[in-house]
């Protein structure tokens, strides 16, 4: 077999990387919550809200401590937050008391098809390999209503690495704009806008709005 045949084209994810990453979030949930509380995604949230089917429910997938969940809830939206870290879910429960919350995995969403008008994926796919991101985007499409909208925001770059976090570490994957557009389109979504932009908090980020066809 040729070397090219063996090459995957993306960094292999260490066994247990997601579990270890989520454990680091559990330990650092309060600290993360305070550090990123003032990060303001208002511009993206407004575009997202304007594109949503009327009166539909929003899923914040990988909601973390619930910053955006609380904003959406305070704007009158019915919201559901999901995160694999129970520490993050506890923070989100305090931040957005009206939201429904679920401890679950974005790769295996515990919801019926055609449930949500929008899925908000803000910085929640940054720990997943391309096959896992494909799975998560496919899941997002499944749970969207026809005309429902998906927002994705991931760090721009190449490769993958461990980054220290408190007493633990987190595994990060970086993506190119064209790569993520391909994943979104292959999942059967129509791209509304896609750009690499300065991050709200740091670095360069890829932001994509897409829609499930009617
Ligand atoms: C960088 S934080 C982003 C949190 C929040 N969306 C924000 O914008 O502040 C990534 C979040 O994704 C969660 N996460 C990572 N992998 C996940 C998975 N497979 N399923 C669900 N949540 C996951 C982590 O627990 C963490 O809360």
Does residue 40 lie within any of the structural domains?
yes
Does residue 21 lie within any of the structural domains?
yes
Q: Which residue has the higher pLDDT, 41 or 121?
A: 121
Atom number of ligand 1 nearest to Cα 153: 8
State the residue range of the domain holding 26. 11-212
Q: What's the CATH number where 187 sits?
A: 3.40.50.150
Does residue 1 lie within any of the structural domains?
no
Question: Does the global pTM surpass 0.85?
Answer: yes
Mean pLDDT of 102-129: 98
In this predicted model, what pLDDT tens digit does every residue of 51-99 receive, in sequence order? 999 999 999 999 999 999 999 999 999 999 999 999 999 999 999 999 9
Which of 17, 40, 64 for a ligand 1 pocket mutation test, highest count of atoms within 8 Å of Cβ?
A: 64
Domains of the chain: total: 1
Does residue 5 lie within any of the structural domains?
no
In this predicted model, what pLDDT tens digit does every residue of 161-199 receive, in sequence order? 999 998 899 999 999 999 999 999 999 999 999 999 988
Does residue 4 lie within any of the structural domains?
no
Does residue 181 lie within any of the structural domains?
yes
In this predicted model, what pLDDT tens digit does every residue of 87-112 receive, in sequence order? 999 999 999 999 999 999 999 999 99
Write down the pLDDT at residue 10: 63
Does residue 2 lie within any of the structural domains?
no
- DSSP code of 159? S
Does residue 104 lie within any of the structural domains?
yes
- What's the gap in Å between 185 CA and the centre of ligand 1? 23
């Amino acid at each position: 077999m040729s070397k090219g045949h063996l090459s995957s084209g993306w960094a292999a994810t260490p066994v247990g990387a997601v579990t270890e990453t989520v454990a680091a979030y559990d330990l650092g949930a309060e600290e993360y919550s305070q550090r990123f509380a003032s990060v303001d995604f208002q511009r993206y949230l407004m575009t997202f809200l304007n594109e949503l089917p009327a009166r539909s429910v929003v899923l914040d997938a990988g909601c973390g401590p619930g910053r955006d969940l609380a904003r959406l809830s305070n704007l009158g939206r019915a919201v559901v937050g999901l995160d694999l870290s129970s520490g993050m879910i506890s923070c989100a429960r305090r931040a957005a008391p009206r939201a429904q919350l679920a401890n679950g995995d974005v790769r295996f969403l515990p919801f019926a098809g055609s449930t949500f008008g929008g899925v908000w994926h803000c910085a929640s796919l940054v720990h997943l390999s391309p096959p896992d991101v494909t799975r998560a985007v496919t899941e997002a499409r499944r749970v969207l209503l026809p005309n429902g909208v998906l927002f994705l925001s991931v760090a721009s770059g190449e490769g993958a690495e461990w980054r220290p976090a408190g007493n633990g570490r987190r595994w990060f994957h970086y993506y190119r704009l064209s790569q993520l557009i391909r994943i979104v389109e292959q999942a059967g979504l129509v791209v509304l806008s896609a750009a690499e932009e300065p991050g709200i908090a740091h670095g360069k980020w890829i932001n994509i709005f897409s829609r499930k066809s009617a």
